[in-house]
Amino acid sequence: MELNNPQRLFRCRLSLGFFILGMVLSGISALPLQSELALLSRFLGISDPASYADMHGLQHWIAFVYFGLRQTYSRFPYFGLRN
């Protein structure tokens, strides 16, 4: 199946459009990261993310990332959005 130039151009534009849309959506979802991690921590039953060393599996990872993010935002408030 050989594609002529208008079909190739359309497919390239469509692929590029999906890629750009994906990049925009991933950028938008990165903005409220601290509030998303707070919600996920509450859902997983993590009361104190500073005690991540005592946790296992997914709870350990989420608490570790949330703790690091809170520390970073408290030291460098210009680095990201705060709650």
pLDDT at 77: 77
Model confidence over 18-64: pLDDT tens digits?
999 999 888 777 677 888 899 999 999 999 998 888 999 999 999 99
Specify whether 25 is located in the same domain as 50: no
pLDDT at 2: 62
Q: Who has greater pLDDT, 49 or 2?
A: 49
Is the per-residue pLDDT at 3 higher than 80?
Answer: no
Specify whether 21 is located in the same domain as 39: no
Closest alpha carbon to 32 in 43, 23, 40, 20: 40
Three-state DSSP state, 83: coil
Specify whether 38 is located in the same domain as 12: no
Tokens (6 digits) for 11: 């497919």
Specify whether 43 is located in the same domain as 18: no
Specify whether 44 is located in the same domain as 54: yes
Specify whether 37 is located in the same domain as 26: no
Three-state DSSP state, 76: coil
Specify whether 76 is located in the same domain as 58: yes
pLDDT at 82: 53
Question: Which residue range forms the structural domain that includes residue 3?
Answer: 1-30
